[in-house]
Amino acid sequence: MSSMENQQPVAGNEGAVKPALSFLFFGKLSEVGIGDKIFRAVTGFFAFLILLLAVLTFVALFINSIPSIKAIGWKFLVSSEWDPIRQVFGAVPYVYGTLVSSFIALVIAVPLGLGIALFLTELAPMHLRAPVAFVVDILAAIPSVVYGLWGMFVLAPIMARYINPVMAKLIGAPFFVNTSIGLSFFSAGVILSIMILPTIISISRDVFEAVPNVYRESAKALGATDWETIQLSVLKSSKPGVVGAIMLGLGRALGETMAVTMVIGNNPQVTANLLAPGHSMAAVIANEFTEATGDVYLAALSEIGLLLMVITFFLNVGAHLLVWFTTRNYGRN
Amino acid sequence: MKNIKKLVLAGFAGMVMMGASMAHAVDLNGAGSTFDNPIFQKWFHEYYTANQIQVNYQSIGSGGGIQQWLAKTVDFGATDAYLTDDEAKKANGPSLNLPVVLGAVCVTYNIPGVDSGLKLTPKILVDIYRGKITNWNDPAIAEINPGVTLPDLKITVAHRSDGSGTTNIFTSYLSKVSTAWSTEVGWGKSVNFPVGVGGKGNEGVAGIVEQVSGSIGYVELAYCVQNKMAVAKLKNKAGNYVEASVATTTAAAKGAKMPSSFKIMITNASGEDAYPICGFSWVVVRVNQDDPVKGKKLVDLLNWILDKGNAEAGDLYYAPLPDSLVEKVKGAVATIKY
């Protein structure tokens, strides 16, 4: 009781402070409503700017791509040949490399990232949670060129010497046929998985933490084990958030340039063998744009950028549709 | 907008010049080749110290340099590939391609137990890059390298993945020595290599060669020397096996029949000591200068480069232009009107 009484005056003070502050920002008390309106208009304008930015980027890329769209047409989307000398440009190997390396990254990073996030929110002792989360956030701040250099000088030799032969023996053809080089789709996927882990961990951790404790307590009260509690109360209700985390990670993987170009081998080919060198969309732009001459060549590189934007857009739409389909009946169950 | 650009330029110049007076205005602007950048920074620093004229050079790549020069945002462009006819047309007025830098491209390799100096013929090099020779124990290689124990080891071909003057010179050489290469692949700053893995920049190719046992790649001379990489001796047109060096590169330029436009690839040059894979980097300027003050500054700078700068090129493993060529280029500089 006494503590309640102690808090009362504090709360009262807060009440006195708030109008004083709003007076500073919005003028007279009676004009608070106008302040809110201005605030709403300003933030709304900011949000609109983001939309505008996306649309303008799309339009600019499209305009820059016109010479190549005119000269090459649909062949750009189905041809595998990329020859600046003969002005023949086909995007297939680059699209393939981007999708395959990002997919490998997701296969590795999603279970690992969600596992780590679950451990940190549900299972880890309290004193471990903050330090581990701190380290995860630091990982996200490492520049991609550093990952790339590490990938080329440390990871690639390790892959070539130890990992690739094992994968070739365990899984084998057609996906894992050993080559003597460590630069491959697979190495790019591994580097990307390390790079997108922090994104997936920190966002899904926030999502899991947002699940009300009442849910967990209810499950436990019904006699659920730790795993059943996680499954019933945490995972089910955080599905949209987790998909959001994965999509942000995928976005980084699709657009990553420096690290990928340093470990993927930069050989534009379409092959089922993940241990062979490949190429990616962002990598070919970064590699060739500065020295590209000729209208069609430059436009073809812009068109690669346009295509990457479109692919990212549809993957995001697809993911949101997936969430919508799998969660729409959730309330009724 | 202009002020912002000036600020950026000033900041950049300050970083590069290190200690040069920030308050001093930039007198001349250039942009282009990254290959030229080390020697340009050295030259322009010395030029500032001697003449108090500041030249700001942005090494953004040859393609970008030409674009900026066409848009008249810079006074000169620097490029590893001379202007194409289309580009020259876009300049709206006569322009000059002036060779000022001369460089060589080395063939480097990583074969366990084989030291620097492996001999290669043009045919072997082409066959390796076409994927026809795939193992180091190929009889063709053994035949011209008696006494060298070549292992049974798969050849991994490394090439540049980024568009580069180095690739331009290298593929120009392969095209000159092989009709198969010139019809199937051709030459340019980016080509569709039949086999191999790509590395970004000299460091990317060097990294692959260092990492992968049995690999072969091509990098700039300076990069090779500084990193003490194993370098192949190439059979030149005269039939001699020549190692890349400053002297053998200048020898190659000496043997070339120079057209008055200076648009020439001197790969596979004749001459006893000529190293076959080397080439120029050009500065492109307009013949008719709009601004008389800037025009004079530009002409003075070009003459200084050809007189003083050229002699020091060897310090950074670029090859000096031969004297006969220097005179010809100075003759072209004299035609600039301001």
- What confidence tens digit (pLDDT) does each residue in B253-296 have? 988 888 999 999 999 998 899 999 999 999 999 999 988 899 99
Contact at CB, A292 and B63, closer than 8 angstroms: yes
Contact at CB, B214 and A180, closer than 8 angstroms: yes
- Provide the pLDDT confidence category of residue A7 given band limits of 50, 70 and 90: very low
Residue pairs between chains A and B whose CB atoms are closer than 8 Å: 99
Q: Which residues of chain B lie closer than 8 angstroms to A182, CB-CB?
A: 211-212
SS3 B270: coil
For residue B188, give the nearest of A85, A180, A183 by CB distance.
A85
Contact at CB, B196 and A293, closer than 8 angstroms: no
B206 in reach of chain A (CB within 8 A): no
Q: Which residues of chain A lie closer than 8 angstroms to B162, CB-CB?
A: 286-288, 290-291
- Provide the pLDDT confidence category of residue A331 given band limits of 50, 70 and 90: low
For A327, the token pair is 């969660």
- Strands (E) in chain A, as ranges, are 82-83, 88-89
- pLDDT for position A16: 44
Question: Is residue A236's pLDDT more than 90?
Answer: no
Do residue A46 and residue A140 come from a single domain?
no
Do residue A174 and residue A255 come from a single domain?
yes
A322 Cβ contact list (under 8 Å, min separation 6): A243
Do residue A126 and residue A266 come from a single domain?
yes
Question: Is residue A120's pLDDT more than 60?
Answer: yes
DSSP element (H, E) containing B32: strand B28-32
What is the rounded average pLDDT of the residues A264-281?
Answer: 94
A157 in reach of chain B (CB within 8 A): yes
Contact at CB, B197 and A153, closer than 8 angstroms: no
- pLDDT for position A281: 96
Question: pLDDT tens-digit profile of B69-96?
Answer: 999 999 999 998 899 888 899 988 999 9
Do residue A245 and residue A315 come from a single domain?
yes
Q: Which residues of chain B lie closer than 8 angstroms to A181, CB-CB?
A: 156, 197, 208, 212
Confirm if B108 and B60 have CB atoms less than 8 A apart. no
Do residue A22 and residue A76 come from a single domain?
no
Q: How far is CA B329 from CA A87, B41, B279, B303, B323, in A?
A: 33, 21, 16, 9, 10
B161 in reach of chain A (CB within 8 A): yes
Nearest CA in chain B to A155: B211
Closest CA to B94 of B261, B331, B257: B261
- pLDDT for position B25: 65
Q: In what order do the strands lie in the sheet with B241-242?
A: B119-120, B233-235, B241-242
A23 Cβ contact list (under 8 Å, min separation 6): A29
For residue B188, give the nearest of A84, A182, A283 by CB distance.
A84
- pLDDT for position A6: 43
CA distance A84 to chain B (A): 6
- pLDDT for position B278: 93
Contact at CB, B161 and A82, closer than 8 angstroms: no
Weakest mean pLDDT among A92-101, B33-42, B172-181: B33-42
Contact at CB, B200 and A287, closer than 8 angstroms: yes
| Residue after which a domain boundary falls, among A17, A40, A66 | A66
Question: Is residue A9's pLDDT more than 60?
Answer: no
Domains of chain B: 2-101+281-333 (3.40.190.10), 105-278 (3.40.190.10)
- pLDDT for position A81: 92
Q: Which residues of chain B lie closer than 8 angstroms to A262, CB-CB?
A: 200, 204
- Provide the pLDDT confidence category of residue A15 given band limits of 50, 70 and 90: very low
Distance from C-alpha of B51 to C-alpha of B43, rounded to nearest angstrom? 12
For A306, the token pair is 């346009």
What is the rounded average pLDDT of the residues B37-50?
Answer: 93
Q: How far is CA B118 from CA A1, A110, A112, B133, B242, in A?
A: 92, 49, 48, 16, 11
Question: Is residue B122's pLDDT more than 90?
Answer: yes
A276 in reach of chain B (CB within 8 A): no
What string of DSSP letters covers B280-307?
Answer: EEEEEEESB-S-HHHHHHHHHHHHHIII
B324 in reach of chain A (CB within 8 A): no
Between B217 and A330, residue with greater pLDDT: B217
Nearest CA in chain A to B190: A84
A212 in reach of chain B (CB within 8 A): no
Mean pLDDT, rounded, of chain B: 89
For A70, the token pair is 């005119």
- Provide the pLDDT confidence category of residue A333 given band limits of 50, 70 and 90: very low
Do residue A58 and residue A76 come from a single domain?
no
| Residue after which a domain boundary falls, among A44, A66, A88 | A66
Contact at CB, A157 and B81, closer than 8 angstroms: no
Contact at CB, A291 and B213, closer than 8 angstroms: no
- Provide the pLDDT confidence category of residue A330 given band limits of 50, 70 and 90: low
Contact at CB, B164 and A291, closer than 8 angstroms: yes
Nearest CA in chain B to A184: B197
Question: Is residue A230's pLDDT more than 50?
Answer: yes
What is the rounded average pLDDT of the residues A177-183?
Answer: 86
Closest CA to B240 of B269, B273, B267: B273
What is the rounded average pLDDT of the residues A169-195?
Answer: 91
CA distance B164 to chain A (A): 6
Q: Which residues of chain B lie closer than 8 angstroms to A277, CB-CB?
A: 197-198
For residue B63, give the nearest of A85, A180, A291 by CB distance.
A291
Nearest CA in chain A to B214: A180
CA distance A157 to chain B (A): 7
Question: pLDDT tens-digit profile of A16-57?
Answer: 444 445 545 545 555 568 888 999 999 999 999 999 999 999
Q: Which of B161, B184, B282 to mutate to test the interface with A (most CBs of A within 10 A)?
A: B161
Question: Is residue A323's pLDDT more than 90?
Answer: no
Question: Is residue B1's pLDDT more than 80?
Answer: no
Contact at CB, B197 and A288, closer than 8 angstroms: no
Do residue A29 and residue A137 come from a single domain?
no
- pLDDT for position B9: 52
Q: Which of A273, A293, A298 to mutate to test the interface with B (most CBs of B within 10 A)?
A: A293
For residue A293, give the nearest of B63, B161, B193 by CB distance.
B63
Distance from C-alpha of B111 to C-alpha of A187, rounded to nearest angstrom? 24
Helix boundaries (H) for B18-121:
37-51, 62-70, 85-90
Do residue A56 and residue A149 come from a single domain?
no
Distance from C-alpha of B154 to C-alpha of A103, rounded to nearest angstrom? 30
Q: How far is CA B33 from CA A68, B66, B222, in A?
A: 25, 9, 16
Cα dihedral value A67, A72, A77, A83, nearest 10: -100
Q: What is the pTM of this model?
A: 0.83
Do residue A106 and residue A60 come from a single domain?
no
CB-neighbour burial class of residue B109 (10 A; exposed 0-12, middle 13-18, buried 19+): buried
Number of folded domains that form chain A:
2
Question: Is residue A160's pLDDT more than 60?
Answer: yes
Mean pLDDT, rounded, of chain A: 87
B32 in reach of chain A (CB within 8 A): no
SS3 B104: strand
What is the rounded average pLDDT of the residues B99-124?
Answer: 94
ipTM rounded to 2 decimals? 0.80
Between B211 and A62, residue with greater pLDDT: A62
Confirm if B162 and B200 have CB atoms less than 8 A apart. yes
- Provide the pLDDT confidence category of residue B63 given band limits of 50, 70 and 90: confident
A160 in reach of chain B (CB within 8 A): yes
| Residue after which a domain boundary falls, among A14, A46, A66 | A66
Between B170 and A14, residue with greater pLDDT: B170
Do residue A169 and residue A37 come from a single domain?
no
- pLDDT for position A8: 43
Question: pLDDT tens-digit profile of A305-319?
Answer: 999 999 999 998 988
- Provide the pLDDT confidence category of residue B325 given band limits of 50, 70 and 90: very high
- pLDDT for position A30: 53
Do residue A168 and residue A311 come from a single domain?
yes
Do residue A112 and residue A172 come from a single domain?
yes
SS3 B93: coil
CB-neighbour burial class of residue A119 (10 A; exposed 0-12, middle 13-18, buried 19+): middle
Question: Is residue A138's pLDDT more than 70?
Answer: yes
CA distance A181 to chain B (A): 6
Question: Is residue B108's pLDDT more than 90?
Answer: yes
Question: pLDDT tens-digit profile of B157-177?
Answer: 999 999 888 999 999 999 999
Contact at CB, B161 and A287, closer than 8 angstroms: yes
CATH code at A281? 1.10.3720.10
For B39, the token pair is 């020697």
Domain span at A87: 72-329
Question: Is residue A90's pLDDT more than 90?
Answer: yes
